[in-house]
Chain A
Amino acid sequence: MVCAVSGTSGVLRITGDPGGTIHLADGLVTAVETTGAPGPEVLLLRSRRVTESRWDAAFAAAAARGRPLSAELVAREMVGAGELEALLLTAMADAIFVLASGTVDEYRAEPGPSDGGLALEPGADPAGLLAEASRRIKVLMSVPSPPADRRERLVAAPGAVRPGVRLGAGQDEILALADGRRTTRDLAFALGRGVYATTLRLAEMHAAGLLVPASASTASRSARQAGRPAARARQESGDELPRRKGLTGRAVLPRRASAARTPRGLLRPRSNRDDNPG
């Protein structure tokens, strides 16, 4: 990919799972869009760092004046220039990590001007972003308690939520959201945090016995089959937690070494993927 984008201005469209679009200016990455990771807009709005009404006003004004949205946000003092730069770089690194962890069927470079929405100017070095993605993948592969497979949906473990007991450090929010219907990516969007940071946090909580893969718990499915969402079923029945049957959580955890589950290759087509990135 680095060779493909050297000195290029335009967009690099990546087809795959999740796939996405990388915006480039003079060979530097200015923005990355993917459905697999929350972009800067989600990070700013979900964290309530910026209110929706102010965001909408800035978006409209930027469009009307024909100037970059990032400049408009800074001019309106909604976010500091340094803070915005850090946020854009963080979101970009997360998106590249997600793209590199997924599968790439093909990519296509389209030279020309690009409009990447909230863009980092000047952009980031693609080699540096790939190196960071590789580092993150290695970190996740070395986590003692493997994080859930990215397609796995997570649910609070029996006994993890106790009335009147707060775990703090954002764990209560995660347990409330982990209803057996959300993957790591879904939780990252719901929380307004990066996928990498969310994956690490979920791994910690899994290691602490607070979260289990939904496939290890039959409660959410049985609740849905009864025609009621699991969360509501629990509220109505007064039963605080779904009851797991049979296998322990650990027995059905995704295997870190599983070739099908392990992040493979850094933005290379399947046929040309290196099994030992970095």
Chain B
Amino acid sequence: MPKKKGALVTDDALLAEMEALRERVSGITGSAVASRDGLNIREDTGDLDPDNLAALAATALSLAQRLASEAGQGTLRETVTRSSGGYVVVYAVGARAVLILVGDEGLDITRLHRESRATVESMEKLLV
């Protein structure tokens, strides 16, 4: 997603949204916003490589949407990858971006699904 005039302001607002979500949901260890074509827009991912994460998350969401469509199950809400060491959750942010959340084994996934809705909506407005 090309950076426009005022992109820095948007970047900081995106970071603020990610930090606010991390404060509301225990277990989030990293978060990032990427474009649907897999380019990193803003990240707070610690030691994880945000560029790889962005590329893989965009691909995963795209595949999951096709899978959901193939199974005739309507609109995709999110993808959740659960591993022995934690979670990676990807939400669609409008038609142009994705929100990636990385969490530890104790991530409060129920609260995350509830709290992330407002975050996704706010981000969608920021990225218009």
Contact = CB atoms under 8 A, between A and B. Distances in A.
A186 B84 contact: no
Contact of B29 (A55, A186, A224, A225): A186
Contact of A35 (B12, B26, B44, B85): B26
Interface string B84-108: 1100000000000000000011111
Interface stretch (A36-44, A73-81, A240-248): A36-44
Interface in A204-259: 224-225, 227, 229, 231-232
Contacts of B127: none
B106 A38 contact: yes
B15 A35 contact: no
Highest count of chain B CB atoms <10 Å: which of A34, A42, A52: A42
B79 interface: no
A189 B104 contact: yes
B45 A35 contact: no
B13 to A, nearest CB: 12
A198 to B, nearest CB: 13
Nearest to B42: A227
A45 B83 CA distance: 12
Nearest to A188: B106
Size range of the interface on B?
20 to 34
B105 A181 contact: no
Interface in B56-101: 84-85
A35 B107 CA distance: 6
Given A52-B84, A151-B23, A186-B29, A181 B46 contact: yes
A36 B26 contact: yes
A41 B29 CA distance: 19
Contacts of B23: 151
A1 B51 CA distance: 48
Interface in B9-55: 11-12, 15, 23, 26-27, 29-30, 42-47
B105 A179 contact: no
A18 interface: yes
Contact of B26 (A18, A45, A229): A18
A224 B105 contact: no
Among A45, A182, A224, find the residue whose CB has the most chain B CB atoms closer than 10 A: A224
A1 to B, nearest CB: 21
A42 B104 CA distance: 10
Contacts of A38: 105-106
Contact of A189 (B44, B45, B106): B106
Interface of A: 18, 34-39, 41-42, 45, 52, 55-56, 151, 179, 181-183, 185-186, 189-190, 224-225, 227, 229, 231-232
Given A38-B105, A185-B106, 15 more contacts: A18-B108, A35-B27, A37-B106, A38-B106, A41-B105, A56-B84, A179-B46, A185-B26, A190-B104, A227-B11, A227-B42, A229-B44, A229-B45, A229-B46, A229-B47
Interface of B: 11-12, 15, 23, 26-27, 29-30, 42-47, 84-85, 104-108, 111
